[in-house]
Structure 1
Amino acid sequence: MTAATQHLIDTQFETLYQRDYAVQAPDMRRLYENAKRDQWNVSKDIDWSQSVELEKGIFADGLV
């Protein structure tokens, strides 16, 4: 680690804040990419142009 990727925080005990976000485990990167692909994506999977009747509620009255 270089000084550019870590920061020592002065406390009553030694604390090291690590800012290195490099991929250290390729399998975790693959898992993350697969999860992004396989999960729904709020920016493309929801039609945000659709109007919503807020007073109508989410559930039918019989279900509440």
Structure 2
Amino acid sequence: MASEAQRRANDKWREKFDEIRFRVPKGQKAWIQNHAIAQGESVNAFVNRAIQEAMERDNAAK
């Protein structure tokens, strides 16, 4: 169980971020996790990088 100080620190850290939840087809979660691990990234880092790269690519095509 986290101490009160740890809970406050976690809450302060979470304030720096927005949260997006999304669903993937059954079985794709493990595929994404395995790919992220193979790239040396967390799933969160991989998804953020993939989104950033797609947006940059889409904007460059305009």
Question: Which one has a larger percent helix, Structure 1 or Structure 2?
Answer: 2
Same fold (TM over 0.5): no
Larger radius of gyration: 1
TM superposition score normalised by structure 2: 0.28
The answer to which structure, 1 or 2, has the higher relative contact order (CA under 8 A, 6+ apart) is 1
| TM-score using structure 1 length | 0.27
